[in-house]
Amino acid sequence: MNTKRDLEIRVMMAARENNISSILFRNSIRSRVGLNITDSECLSFLSIKGVLTPKDISHYTGLTTGSTTAMLDRLENAQFIRRKPNPDDRRGALIEIHEKWIETSRPLVVGLQKEQAELIASYSDAELEIIADFLTRFTDNVKKYTEMIEQDLI
């Protein structure tokens, strides 16, 4: 059937556009705040993952440990992150977001967050179940293939 395939393509395109738009959104913020791409990516990871080790961060960003140290120095100087001792491993540190970054970014993101919350609230429970389920499965696939590429299985 033709209509069906059109619909499937529409969903695929919408998912891609969504990802691109989120990159452009963050680019607009980092241009405003004066951050480079890697520093901004680091803050994004921290804001969704919570506390991370420098090792985690260098893995996620794809930077070497050397440039991760330098990046964390920059972000710490700007008071956008904080280094804490790692209670489980005295060699390592834990990185968390500093309130100053929250305060700096809040005015730029709060309006969008509110609109997205309103958009979501406009759907019924049944619809939200479908959406959440789809997004989760879609993301799980992405994670699975990321893992495969990292482990040289592809």
Partner DNA sequence: ACTCTAAAATCAAGATACTTTATTTTCGAG
Partner DNA sequence: CTCGAAAATAAAGTATCTTGATTTTAGAGT
Interaction site with a second copy (CB under 8 A): 3-4, 7-8, 10-12, 14-25, 27-32, 37-38, 41, 44-45, 48-49, 60-62, 107-108, 111-112, 115-117, 119-121, 123, 125, 127-132, 134-139, 141-143, 145-146, 148-150, 154
Pick from 68, 82, 101, 105: which binds DNA (CB under 7 A)?
Answer: 68
Report the C-alpha gap between 154 and 40 in whole angstroms.
29
Classify the C-alpha dihedral 85-89-93-98 as positive or negative.
Answer: negative
| Closer by beta carbon to a second copy, 79 or else 146 | 146
Q: What is the nearest approach in angstroms of a second copy to the Cβ of residue 82?
A: 21
43 versus 72: smaller Cβ distance to DNA: 72
Distance CA 56, CA 30 (A): 22
Query: What is the pairing mode between strands 81-85 and 93-97?
Result: antiparallel
Using the minimum distance from each CB to DNA, give the nearer residue, 73 or 96.
73
Query: If we measure between CA atoms, which residue out of 59, 36, 71, 63 comes closest to residue 146?
Result: 59
- What is the full DSSP assignment across 124-143? -HHHHHHHHHHHHHHHHHHH
- The residues of the shown chain that bind DNA, judged by CB under 7 A, are 36, 38-39, 53-55, 62-74, 83, 86, 89-93
